[in-house]
Each structure stands twice: as C-alpha cells, then as structure tokens.
Structure 1
Amino acid sequence: MRLLLVEDNEEDAELLLRELRRASFYPEWSRVDTEEDFLKALHKGPDIILCDYSMPRFSGLRALKLLRESGLEIPFILISGAVGEDVAVEAMRDGATDYLLKDRIARVGAAVSRALTLTQLRAERNRAEEELRAKVEMLNHANLEREQLIDRLKRTLSEKTVLLKEVHHRVKNNMAVIAALLGMQSKHLDNDQARMALAESKQRVLSMASIHEHLYATERLDRVNFGEYVKQLANDLFASYSTASELVSFGVEAEAIELPVDRAIPCGLILNELISNALKYAFADGRTGTIKVCFGRLESGGLSLSCRDDGIGLPENLEWKSPHSLGFKIISILTKQIDGNLMLDRSEPGTRFELTFPEG
C-alpha cells in the first residue's frame, strides 16, 4: 500500500503509522504539509491519503478540493483533533471517504481497510459501468448498422435470417411439387411395379421436404430437432400406408436432439426406407403387429436410430449388406456418408435395424 500522509506534525504521523502497523498495514509512505508538495505527491499515485484537517500552511478541505479537481479516485480520510458535525458533513459531501478524531486514532486501521474496500468496489463498479456503456454504444452502433442493412435488403428479400428461411421454404415447396408430379404420373401407369417405384420415390422426396419445413419453422436455420422430425416422419409414413396402419400399431421414442442439416437429411432418408420396408413387407397376408422407432444418445457416445418390427423377419438368404434393391442401396450409401454403422438384429422375432453414427 502506498500511503500519502498530509500532516505537519512528525509525532502525529508516527502515531498514525504505528496504529496502521498494529492493524497489519506496512505501507510505503511519504509525508507532505504544503499544497505544492501535495500536488507533486498526487502524481505518484498513492493508494490512500490520510490528511490532517488543519495545518499552518495547508488545510484538509483544500487538499480534498485539489484531489477532486485532479479527477483521481483516491480514498481520502480526514483526521482532526476536533471536527465538528458541520465540517464532517461538508468533507463527506465534497468526496472524503471517512473522517477520524485524533482521540480515536486507534480506529485508523479499520477506517483504512474500509476505505480501500469501498474504493475497490467503486472501481469495479465504475469498470463494469464503463464496460456496459461501451457495450451499449457498440450495440447502438450495431443496431444502427443492422437497421441500415435491413433497409438495403428490403429491396431484395430481407436480412440474412429471413432470406435463409425463404430458401428453405421454397426448397420445401419445390419438393412438394416434385412429389405431386410423381403421384400424378403414377396414376397414369398400368404397371404395378412402376407405380410402386414412383410412390416410393415420392415418399423419399417428401421426407427431405419435411426437413426443410422444420428448418424454416424454427429459429435455427442450420440444425433440426431430429426427435420431433422422427415423430412426424413416422406418423406421415404410417398414415400413407393406410392398409397396413389398420393392422399395425406404432410407437416412437425420440429424444429432442438437434442435428445439422448434413446429418438430418441422410438420417431421415434412412429412416424412411426402414419404416417403409417394415410397413410393406413385415406384416404380409393380413398379419398384425408393432413397429417401434427409437432415437437417442448412446452411453458410449454417438447417436442411435433404430426401427424394430415383430413381423415375419427378413429372409435368411437375403444379402442386405450387398443389396440389389434400391432401398437398401440408398441406406448403404447414406450410412457411409454420415460415417455410420448399420446393424441387423435377428435375436427376437421380426427385424431390428440400428444405425449408430457420430453426432456432428
């Protein structure tokens, strides 16, 4: 601690220093008793000032005024043999941190400790206020620039977020048109196999369109709440296979986990193929049963997306890892695209596929 003593009496100064040492303060100190020396000492940056109220060539109130005019935030404690209430009030009003009577000089340690603490708190508050003012100024400046940017972009589409939402909205609409065209085309075909192929392609397009629908409906334009998407996709597929839905019950357990678009679209297409295959083939000849879809985090890390049915199961001789069907080819390609791993579980009746992949 750097202490400035404004005191003309050496014995009083030594008394103050002794009391400070008793309070565990061991300051670097200097003593002045004139206005000229006081001003010079101020520029050396003391941490605290202890000032006698009345001296032959200087006064405590004059020292306090000079300190205030300097603009320095240094705690100032006024000390006097007999400070009246009016003088004490005037000193505190003019910026003194505290005042002490010389007959209570033993309290100087506590007064110094309190003054330094208050000064530190005041400095922290001022620093916080300054930072807040700077941030407010930056925010005002940013808001002004943002308003100017919005004004410029109104002649095109709007600022960046609105533009991206519009892109996703248009992509979704275009995919819906493609799906509608595929549906219309299928109605003009006599070949059942070709008609089914178009219907499957239509559903794949709609599963991708649904991703973009989720994107423009939320504030996050680069990520999708895949848990919500899984539920919607499963319900849409279940409704589209009306005959199967009368015989098959459906369950979805999906955590609300966000995926980036480059993960969400492949995962959505894979799930579309798995659910569609289960609805088309697992419950042939009027069989009843259950399909369950699960999505969540693994304890070991990564994510898991599974589709299980208790239907007739896959043929034992089916080489699903080297598939000839378009659906399994799509699944294989997309699994590699997201660095995933697809596993088939035949341990229970029916079929269970589980896709595991890193989160992002």
Structure 2
Amino acid sequence: MPGKEYPKNRNGRLCLQTGKKPFYIYNVKKNSIRLKTRIEKITLDADTMMLTGLVLNELISNSLKHAFCNKESGLLMITMQQNENGEELVLEVKDNGVGFPSGLYLDRSGRLGYKLIKAFAHKLKAEVVVLNNNGTCVRLYIKKYQVCSYS
C-alpha cells in the first residue's frame, strides 16, 4: 500500500539517528557514554518503525537521565533483530548504569515513561521484559510486524 513504507530508510539508520539525539538533548559529555548498536538490515513498515522509534527514544532518554548519575562513563547498547525463525522482532535497550531501585514494581509505579512504553508495546502486539542486572535491560518481543520489500 503506497505511503505505508518507510522510504529507503533501513531500521538501522533510524535506530542510530534516534539513539544519538538524546545524547545532545541531555548534554552528555563526549566519550563519557558510548552507544553501541547491532541492528539487523531489514526494512520495516512505517507503523512499526514509528512505534519502535518512540520506544527507543523513551528508553534511551530514561537511560541517559537515570542510569549514569554519579558515573563518569557508561555503555548503552541497542539491538534489533529477527529471532531465528523470523516470527518475532526483538528490540533490546541495555545499559550498564545503576539499575532501578530494588523493590520497585514498574507495573505499579505509575511512571509516565513506563506507561508510554507499555502503550506503544500494546500497539506493536509486543511483550515487554525488564531486567535489572548490572544495569537495566528492556526487551520488546514484537510479534506482528511487516517487512517491506522494494523493487
């Protein structure tokens, strides 16, 4: 369907562009927090790209605001790839920051950022998994997504 494809922009380029903007917004010192990406080269439909871009922006912003306070350096990693059988797209944003406080139950926290992530995940028909081990790791398992092809 015309207009539904993200014109000639691979998800890797969008992820990298989305990943770098918050570094400028939050005034991150050069070379203090490294951004590492591993993005599979697939072209997704516009709806999936828009929603994953919004999720990425929220997760990266949260990481830059909270994960690296009182730390001189850190690592933020973004991974997006199809699983082995191609049935799911897995988006992962992971940092080696302070993690979130023990005893915090995100589902009951009422935090706006987490509500946004859950809302976007719902639109993507995605499962959200949050891990708190040597930093924070958030994974989205996106079950319904469209891969676009160009002729």
| Cross-structure match for 2:101 | 315
Unaligned runs of 5+ in 1: 1-160, 165-213
Q: Check conservation: 1:227, 1:256, Cα contact below 8 A.
A: yes
| Cross-structure match for 2:134 | 349
Q: CA 1:241 to 1:355, structure 2 compared with 1: closer, same or farther past 3 Å?
A: same
2: distance between equivalents of 1:233 and 1:292? Answer: 13
Q: CA deviation at 1:239?
A: 2.7
* Runs ≥4 residues deviating over 4 A: none
Unaligned runs of 5+ in 2: 147-151
How do 1:1-360 residues align onto structure 2 when only pairs under 5 Å count? 215=6, 218=7, 225-243=10-28, 245-300=30-85, 301-346=87-132, 348-358=133-143, 359-360=145-146
Q: CA 1:323 to 1:263, structure 2 compared with 1: closer, same or farther past 3 Å?
A: farther
1:135-171 deviations in whole A, cap 9, x for unaligned? xxxxxxxxxxxxxxxxxxxxxxxxxx8xx6xxxxxxx
2: distance between equivalents of 1:306 and 1:314? Answer: 17
1:80-126 deviations in whole A, cap 9, x for unaligned? xxxxxxxxxxxxxxxxxxxxxxxxxxxxxxxxxxxxxxxxxxxxxxx
Residue identity matched to 2:120: L
Q: CA 1:303 to 1:290, structure 2 compared with 1: closer, same or farther past 3 Å?
A: same
Tell me which structure has the larger Cα radius of gyration: 1
Higher strand share: 2
Q: Check conservation: 1:294, 1:307, Cα contact below 8 A.
A: yes
Normalised to the residue count of structure 2, the TM-score between the two structures is 0.83
Q: CA deviation at 1:246?
A: 4.6
Residue identity matched to 1:247: S
| Cross-structure match for 1:110 | none
In structure 2, the residue corresponding to 1:317 is in which secondary structure? Answer: coil
Higher helix share: 1
The alignment of Structure 1 onto Structure 2 pairs a total of residues equal to: 142
Q: CA deviation at 1:230?
A: 0.5
Q: CA deviation at 1:309?
A: 0.5
Q: CA RMSD, aligned part only?
A: 2.1
Q: CA deviation at 1:242?
A: 2.1
Q: CA deviation at 1:349?
A: 0.7
1:187-214 deviations in whole A, cap 9, x for unaligned? xxxxxxxxxxxxxxxxxxxxxxxxxxx9
2: distance between equivalents of 1:243 and 1:282? Answer: 12
Residue identity matched to 1:293: I
2: distance between equivalents of 1:246 and 1:285? Answer: 16
Q: CA 1:251 to 1:297, structure 2 compared with 1: closer, same or farther past 3 Å?
A: same
